[in-house]
């Protein structure tokens, strides 16, 4: 498997805090357990008037605790305005992610899916690909797009890119770590049957696992793979 063949750092691009856990939390824990250096880049932070300073500090503290739980080596806060990435010049976002990709030099890059309904996710995907173009000796050899509950599944059928996974990563041994990490995002956890509930997150892992005859899995779309 591509992620097992790699030995260098893995970088997860998250438009907002908790996207990384929802989409790849079990894989992050699996990679960390295997000795891989795991980095998370959270592109945005809440700013007034949409978010109070107290809300922003609270979610950043939750992220720090969740990342410790999963064994994340480094969390990078890029500080762009949450829910307003469309107001950031595209070249600026390209440059910010590009500098981070160059500094971390990840073998494996996890990005949000381009069909997500949230515009921040779509722009994060585009700029991540710009930042990862293979025009130098060092670039991410594997790029995987993850799914985010309440974002990926609400795209417009037949009009926007559908999430059709072709890579499944077994997280049977790390599902509980993923759920525990998400629980630490207390401000983001919702009661069932909300999609961002613990029950929904477990159900999705069970469904993705059953697709490939495993107790639990996370699903991805392979954007690029160089062996």
Q: What was the pLDDT predicted at 6?
A: 75
Q: What pLDDT is stored for residue 136 in this prediction? A: 86
What is the arithmetic mean of pLDDT over 18-35?
A: 97
pLDDT band at 73; cut points 50, 70, 90: very high
What CATH fold (topology level) applies to the domain 2-225? Answer: Rossmann fold (3.40.50)
pLDDT tens column, 1-13: 556 667 899 999 9
**DSSP codes joined into one string, the chain:** -HHHH--S-EEEEESSTTHHHHHHHHHHHHHHHTT--EEEEEEEE--TTTS-HHHHHHHHHHHHHHHHHHT-SEEEEEEEETT-GGGS-HHHHHHHHHHHHHHH--SEEEEE-TT-SSHHHHHHHHHHHHHT-S-SS---SEEEEE--TTTGGGS-TTTS------EEEE-TTTHHHHHHHHHT-TTT---TTSTTSHHHHHHHHHHHHHHTTSS-EEEEEEEEE--
pLDDT above 90 covers a percentage of the chain that reads 94
Give tens-digit pLDDT for 168-191. 999 999 999 999 999 999 999 999
Domain boundaries, the chain: 2-225
Average pLDDT, the chain: 96
* Residue 207 pLDDT greater than 70, yes or no: yes
| Tens digits of residue pLDDT in 129-155 | 999 999 989 999 999 999 999 999 998
């Amino acid at each position: 498997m591509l992620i097992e063949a790699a030995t260098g750092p893995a970088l997860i691009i998250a438009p907002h805090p908790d996207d990384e856990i929802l989409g790849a939390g079990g894989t992050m824990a699996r990679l960390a357990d295997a000795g891989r250096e795991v980095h998370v880049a959270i592109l945005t932070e809440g700013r007034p008037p949409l978010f109070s300073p107290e809300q922003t500090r609270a979610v950043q503290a939750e992220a720090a605790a969740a990342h410790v739980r999963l064994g994340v080596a480094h969390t990078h806060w890029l500080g762009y305005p949450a829910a307003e990435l469309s107001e950031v010049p595209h070249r600026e976002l390209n440059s910010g992610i590009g500098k981070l990709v160059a500094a971390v030099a990840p073998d494996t890059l996890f990005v949000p899916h381009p069909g997500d309904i949230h515009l921040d996710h779509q722009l994060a995907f585009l700029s991540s690909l710009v930042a990862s173009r293979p025009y130098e000796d060092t670039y991410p050899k594997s790029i995987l797009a993850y799914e985010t509950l309440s974002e990926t599944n609400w795209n417009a059928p037949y009009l926007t890119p559908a999430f059709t996974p072709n890579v499944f990563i077994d997280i049977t041994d790390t599902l509980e770590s993923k759920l525990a990490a998400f629980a630490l995002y207390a401000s983001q956890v919702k009661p069932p049957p909300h999609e961002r509930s613990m029950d929904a997150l477990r159900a999705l892992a069970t469904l993705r696992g059953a697709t490939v005859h495993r107790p639990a899995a996370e699903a991805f779309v392979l954007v690029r793979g160089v062996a």
